Structure 1
Amino acid sequence: MNRSVSNKRSETKKAAILIGAQKVFSEKGFLNVTMQDIIDACGISRGGIYLYFHTTDDIFFETITQRSVRQFDDIRKAVINEPLFDDLLSAYLSEHKTRLINHIQGAPSLLRAMYEYSFTHHDARDNHLKQKQMNATKATVRSILDLGVKQHKITNHSTKKLADSFMLLIEGMSIMALTGTLKEQQIDDQFQMFIHQLT
C-alpha cells in the first residue's frame, strides 16, 4: 500500500472517531465522557483509537478545533457576496435563536461540553483555542456589521464595540439556555435591543 492511500485511510479513521466523539460529547457533556464511551460510539478497537488519540482531552480539543474552522463558513461566504444587510443579519440572528431554543429544550449540543472543558482547562494550548474561537466569532459579527455600514444601514460605526457587545449577549444567553432559565421572548427582546444599538 502506498503512503498516499495509507494517509487517506488514516485521515478517514480519524474523522470517523471525531464524528462519533462529537455525538458523545453533545449528549453527555465533557466531564462525563470516557474513552470507552467514544470507543463504543465509533465502533473502533481500544488499540485503534489510541493510535490517534491518548485522552478524551485530546479528542475534544481536536473536535472543537475542527468545528471552529468550519463554524462560520456560510456567513463568511455570504458576506463576500454582499447580500442585503437586513437579510443577512436576520438570518444570522435567526440561526442563533434556533440554537438557543434547542439548548433550552435540551437537544444534544456541544455547548455544555465546551463550557465544562473551558472551566477545567487553562493551559496555553487551551487558552489559545478559546481566544481563537472568540476572535473568529467577533470577526464574523463585525464583518456583518461592516456590511451594514457599507450599505448605510448602520449609523453607529463602532462595529468593534458592537461585535463585543453581541458576543457578551450571546454568551450570557447561552449559559441561561443551558440552565433552563432563558425564555424565547427574552431572546427576541435582547436581539431587538441589539438592533437598536446599531443606529
Structure 2
Amino acid sequence: MNEIMPNKRRESKKAIIIAGAQKVFSTKGFLNVTMQDIIDACGISRGGIYLYFRATDDIFFETITQRSVRQFDDIREAVKNEPSFDQLIRVYLGEHKNRLINHINGAPSLLRAMYEYSFTHHADCDKRLKQKQTNATKATVRAILDLGVKQNKVTCHDTKIIADNFMLLIEGMSIVALTGTLTAQQIDDQFHMFMQQLS
C-alpha cells in the first residue's frame, strides 16, 4: 500500500511535466526549448524535474512516446465495431487535414518539433520510436482499408501497398506544411486522389 501511493504521486508529477512540456514543444519546436521553458510551463522546480528527466531530449522522447500510443485510438477502436467505411475514412482523413491546417494557421502543433528531433537524433532508440509511429499510422490505415474491402467499398485488395502510399503522402504534406506553402485545397486534392485509387 505504501509503495502504491508514492508511485501514483510519481506518475502524477511526471504527467504534469509531460503536459507542460508538450505545450512548450508545440509552440517553440524542439531545438529552441530549454529546461527553464519546461520548468516555467509546469511549475515544478528544477530539482523536481531532474528527479524524472535528465534533459529536454528525454522529456521530448517521453512526450512523443506517450502521444504515439494514444494517437488515433478512437479510430482504431471504431474499426472493431465495423462502422460504415465511408464515414470512418472521412473522419480519419478529416483528422489529418485538421492537424495540417492547424499547423499552417499557426496553432500549437508538435509537427515542427517532431521533425527537428528526427533530423537531429539518430540513436537506435530514436529510430525505433520513429518506426513505431510509422507502423502505427500504417496499421491504422490498413485496418480502415481492410474494413472497406470487407464492405465492398475498396476493390484493390493490396491494402499494405495503399497504406504505405498513404504514409508517404502524409509525410510529404507534413513537410510542405512546415514551409507554410500547403493549402487546404491541396490537401483536399491529395485526399481525393487517394480515395480514387481505392476502387
- Give the Å deviation of 1:72: 1.6
In structure 1, the partner of 2:110 is 110
Most deviating of 172-181 and 13-22 = 172-181
CA deviation profile, 1:101-149 (whole Å, cap 9, x unmatched): 1111111100100000000000110001011110011000000000000
Aligned length: 199
- Give the Å deviation of 1:35: 0.5
Q: How is 1:106-145 mapped onto 2 (pairs within 5 angstroms)?
A: 106-145=106-145
In structure 1, the partner of 2:30 is 30
The alignment's TM-score, normalised by the length of structure 2, stands at: 0.98
Distance 1:131 1:96 in 2: 19
In structure 1, the partner of 2:56 is 56
Distance 1:94 1:126 in 2: 28
Distance 1:97 1:2 in 2: 47
In structure 2, the partner of 1:47 is 47
In structure 2, the partner of 1:180 is 180
CA deviation profile, 1:141-160 (whole Å, cap 9, x unmatched): 00000000000001111100
Distance 1:126 1:185 in 2: 34
Root mean square deviation, CA, Å: 0.8
In structure 2, the partner of 1:81 is 81
The alignment's TM-score, normalised by the length of structure 1, stands at: 0.98
- Give the Å deviation of 1:3: 1.4
2:172 maps to amino acid = G
- Give the Å deviation of 1:100: 1.0
- Give the Å deviation of 1:76: 0.7
Q: Secondary structure at the match of 1:77?
A: helix
In structure 1, the partner of 2:7 is 7
CA deviation profile, 1:55-81 (whole Å, cap 9, x unmatched): 000000000000000002101110000
Q: Secondary structure at the match of 2:33?
A: coil
Distance 1:5 1:161 in 2: 48
Identity %: 78
Distance 1:190 1:93 in 2: 11
- Give the Å deviation of 1:9: 0.5
Q: Secondary structure at the match of 2:53?
A: coil
Q: How is 1:84-95 mapped onto 2 (pairs within 5 angstroms)?
A: 84-95=84-95
Q: Secondary structure at the match of 1:194?
A: helix
Distance 1:7 1:183 in 2: 46
Unaligned runs of at least 5 residues, structure 1: none
